[in-house]
Structure 1
Amino acid sequence: MSFKIAIIGAGSVGFTKKLFTDILCVPEFRDVEFALTDLSEHNLGMIKAILDKVVEANGLPTRVTATTDRRRALEGARYIISCVRVGGLGAYADDIRIPLKYGIDQCVGDTICAGGILYGQRNIPVILDFCKDIREVAATGAKFLNYANPMAMNTWAAIEYGKVDTVGLCHGVQHGAEQIAEVLGAKSRHELDYVCSGINHQTWFIDLRLNGRRIGKDELIAAFEAHPVYSQQEKLRIDVLKRFGVYSTESNGHLSEYLPWYRKRPDEITRWIDMSDWIHGETGGYLRYSTETRNWFETEYPQFLEAASKPIDPEKRSNEHASHILEALETNRVYRGHFNVRNNGVIINLPQDAIIESPGFVDRFGINMAAGITLPEACAATCMSSINVQRMSVHAAISGDIDLLKLAVLHDPLVGAVSTPEEVWQMVDEMVVAQAQWLPQYAHAIPAAKERLSKSAVKTREWAGAARRNVRSIEELRAEKAALKQAG
């Protein structure tokens, strides 16, 4: 088979390499062309050198091109994969820093909450530019695979306004299933069958079967509480399991910021999180991790390049959905996964226009969702809170309506638990002004926002958060890696 795959944001070097090697694990895809595009020529050069090394080491006819000209990369592409971070780590730092001044302590800030909503405002105009290019220069019927957060907002905009065949992809379901299989003592993750449904980052394991035997709430709670590691790292997640009766896909840190109950006061934050790793609830944890990862990669690039010369091992193909979807569409080998699509009746008790994440099957006829699912009422209620915020956020990003943007932030569960309306209005003004270069739809609103900020009497505080860690140096990372290697 010979067709073209374009990867937008290919400068996300580690993730791009994973997608690339996964796809090349499919024997029929040896002759595929990969077109890489990114704003950073530096990052493009690094990832192209790595992928060229993979091709050479494995004796493949695969072609890899790289360009900062996005339309050129998209010309004739059958599949377009996006893993962009609009504004980079600079804008992301503001997503964490500015809300902290108003008492809003986020672990990740990339889905909803103040940071995730502003992230969506930066992304959506760019997503619509991608869709315009796809409609105009990509292959007829091209499929857009979005990996970028905020997943639901980006996918919502691409489908409703970009008018492109789009599916959103995430790995939260797979990771949650691996945890469940481990605590239940499964010898392999393949022994666990499940139905997981909801919205991205708030997906719920509503049916669990281990070797065909249904697993109930009490058995699952006991298994997690008995686990020596997860019982400490996932305290909040286990508490939600006890109260809701079902387990959430998302990590302790992610889940904590989508709900109004666990991060509303500093003492509550420290009670429910675990500091053994960023993903369990650390203030700004993902920002720190992303910064360290970037610095580590820049410094250790020769080692990454050397590692690329190893043969591709199909046994190490990851559970990221992209390669499996492409394989099913092109070869008719059926794949079952969990996909982010427009609801349209898939989940009965969520709105039709929402972007849901739920099980589906892929074959030559496309992605076919399993319809008629009803979520437990508490799960549906929690999802509804986020969906309403997502809808307003998407519509604000499209219209450039700063008042609607403020209402979206005001209705966010965690923001509403922490901040007053006056604080939200000022915080949004401050975030829009700070990120103006990435928010063209709000250009008309920036002068008035600046004027309001100059006269505002709302008090703020300089606060690092309830559980902040400093970014580690390269030397510290090397020492930690060496210690782990020695211990292992």
Structure 2
Amino acid sequence: MSFKIAIIGAGSVGFTKKLFTDILCVPEFKDIEFALTDISEHNLGMIKAILDRIVEANKLPTKVTATTDRRKALEGARYVISCVRVGGLEAYADDIRIPLKYGIDQCVGDTICAGGILYGQRNIPVILDFCKDIREVADTGAKFLNYANPMAMNTWAAIEYGKVDTVGLCHGVQHGAEQIAEVLGAKSPGELDYVCSGINHQTWFIELRLNGRPIGKDELVAAFEAHPVYSKQEKLRIDVLKRFGVYSTESNGHLSEYLPWYRKRPDEITRWIDMSDWIHGETGGYLRYSTETRNWFETEYPQFLEAASKPIDPAKRSNEHASHILEALETNRVYRGHFNVKNNGVIANLPQDAIIESPGFVDRFGINMAAGITLPEACAATCMASINVQRMSVHAAIAGDIDLLKLAVLHDPLVGAVSTPEEVWQMVDEMVVAEAAWLPQYAHAVPAAKERLAKSKVKTREWAGAARRSVRSIEELRAEKAALKQAG
């Protein structure tokens, strides 16, 4: 087989390398072309050198090109994969820093809440530019695989306004299933059969079977509470399981900021989170992790390049959906996964226009969703609160409507639990002004926002959050890695 895959945001070096090696685990794909594109020539150079090294070490005919000219990369592409972070860590830092001034403590801030909503405002104009290029220069009927957050908003915009065949992909379902299989004592994750459905980052394991045996709430609660690690790291997630009756796909830290109950007071935050790793609820945890990872990669790049000389091992193919979707579409080997698509009646008690994440099957006819799912009422209610915020956020981003943007932020569950309307109005003004370089649709609104900020009497505070850790230096990371290696 010979076709072209374009990867936008290929400067996300580690993730691009994973997608690349996954796809080349499919024997029929050795003759394909990868076209890498990014706004950073530096990062493009690094990832191309790594991928070239992989191709050379494995004696493959695979072609790898790299360019900052996105349209050139997309020309004739059958598949387009996006893993962009619009605004980079600079804008992301403001997504975390500014809401803290108003008492809003986020762990990740990339899905909803104040940070996720502003992240969506930065992404959506760029996503629509991608879609325009795909329509104009990519292969007829090209499929757009979006990995970028905020997943639901980006996918919603691409489908509804970009008019491109789009699917959103995330690995939260796989990770949650691995946890469940582990606590139940399964020998491998494959022993667990499940139905998981909802919206991205609020997906729910509504049916579980271990080797054909149904698993109920009480057995699952007992298994998690008995686990020596998860019982400490996933306290909030276990509490939601007890109350809702089903387990959520999302980590303790992710889940905590989508709900109005666990992060609205500093003393409550420290009660429910775990500081052993960023993903369990640390204030700005993903920002710290991302900053450390970038610094580490830049410093240790020669080692990453050297590691690329190893043979590709199909046994180590990851459970990221992309390679399996492409394999199913091109070879007709059926793949079952969980995909972000427009609802259109798949989940009966969620809106038709919502972007859902639910089971589907892929073959040469495309992605075919399993319809007729009804979520437990509490799960549907929680999803609905987020969907309403997502819908307003997408519409605000498309129209450049700062008033609608403020209403979207006001209706966010955690923001509403913490902040007053006056605080929300000022916070959004401050975030739009700070991130104006990445918000072209709000250029007309920035001067008035600056005037309001100059006259505002709403009080703020400089607050690091309830559970903030400092970014570790390269030397600290090296020492920690050496200690773990010695202990292991």
* TM-score of the aligned structures, taking structure 1 as reference length: 1.00
CA deviation after TM superposition for structure 1 residue 39, in Å: 0.2
Deviations 1:328-350 (A, max 9, x none): 00000000000000000000000
Distance in 2 between residues matched to 1:44 and 1:32, nearest whole Å: 19
Distance in 2 between residues matched to 1:447 and 1:276, nearest whole Å: 43
- Structure 2 match to 1:25: 25
Distance in 2 between residues matched to 1:212 and 1:479, nearest whole Å: 46
Distance in 1 between residues matched to 2:44 and 2:31, nearest whole Å: 21
CA deviation after TM superposition for structure 1 residue 243, in Å: 0.1
Distance in 1 between residues matched to 2:156 and 2:468, nearest whole Å: 33
- Structure 2 match to 1:422: 422
Distance in 2 between residues matched to 1:221 and 1:244, nearest whole Å: 11
* TM-score of the aligned structures, taking structure 2 as reference length: 1.00
CA deviation after TM superposition for structure 1 residue 323, in Å: 0.1
Unaligned runs of 5+ in 1: none
- Structure 1 match to 2:450: 450
Distance in 2 between residues matched to 1:371 and 1:430, nearest whole Å: 43
Distance in 2 between residues matched to 1:450 and 1:155, nearest whole Å: 31
Distance in 2 between residues matched to 1:191 and 1:430, nearest whole Å: 50
Deviations 1:142-194 (A, max 9, x none): 00000000000000000000000000000000000000000000001000000
CA RMSD of aligned residues (A): 0.1
CA deviation after TM superposition for structure 1 residue 320, in Å: 0.0
CA deviation after TM superposition for structure 1 residue 269, in Å: 0.1
Distance in 2 between residues matched to 1:80 and 1:295, nearest whole Å: 28
SS at match of 1:144: strand
Deviations 1:186-232 (A, max 9, x none): 00100000000000000000000000000000000000000000000
CA deviation after TM superposition for structure 1 residue 355, in Å: 0.1
Deviations 1:221-258 (A, max 9, x none): 00000000000000000000000000000000000000
CA deviation after TM superposition for structure 1 residue 459, in Å: 0.1
SS at match of 2:360: strand
CA deviation after TM superposition for structure 1 residue 69, in Å: 0.1
- Structure 1 match to 2:45: 45
Deviations 1:335-393 (A, max 9, x none): 00000000000000000000000000000000000000000000000000000000000
CA deviation after TM superposition for structure 1 residue 81, in Å: 0.1
Deviations 1:29-65 (A, max 9, x none): 0001000000000000000000000000000000000
CA deviation after TM superposition for structure 1 residue 261, in Å: 0.1
CA deviation after TM superposition for structure 1 residue 452, in Å: 0.2
CA deviation after TM superposition for structure 1 residue 120, in Å: 0.1
Distance in 2 between residues matched to 1:253 and 1:197, nearest whole Å: 20
Deviations 1:245-299 (A, max 9, x none): 0000000000000000000000000000000000000000000000000000000
CA deviation after TM superposition for structure 1 residue 125, in Å: 0.0
Distance in 2 between residues matched to 1:190 and 1:388, nearest whole Å: 35
Distance in 2 between residues matched to 1:386 and 1:397, nearest whole Å: 16
SS at match of 1:368: strand
Deviations 1:295-343 (A, max 9, x none): 0000000000000000000000000000000000000000000000000
SS at match of 2:423: helix
SS at match of 1:336: strand
CA deviation after TM superposition for structure 1 residue 465, in Å: 0.1
CA deviation after TM superposition for structure 1 residue 424, in Å: 0.1
CA deviation after TM superposition for structure 1 residue 112, in Å: 0.0
Distance in 1 between residues matched to 2:189 and 2:404, nearest whole Å: 44
- Structure 2 match to 1:158: 158
Distance in 2 between residues matched to 1:103 and 1:256, nearest whole Å: 15
CA deviation after TM superposition for structure 1 residue 16, in Å: 0.1
Distance in 2 between residues matched to 1:213 and 1:167, nearest whole Å: 32
Distance in 2 between residues matched to 1:214 and 1:161, nearest whole Å: 42
Segments of 4+ moved more than 3 angstroms = none
CA deviation after TM superposition for structure 1 residue 92, in Å: 0.1
Distance in 2 between residues matched to 1:449 and 1:32, nearest whole Å: 49
Deviations 1:375-430 (A, max 9, x none): 00000000000000000000000000000000000000000000000000000000
- 1:332 partnered with 2:327: no
CA deviation after TM superposition for structure 1 residue 68, in Å: 0.1
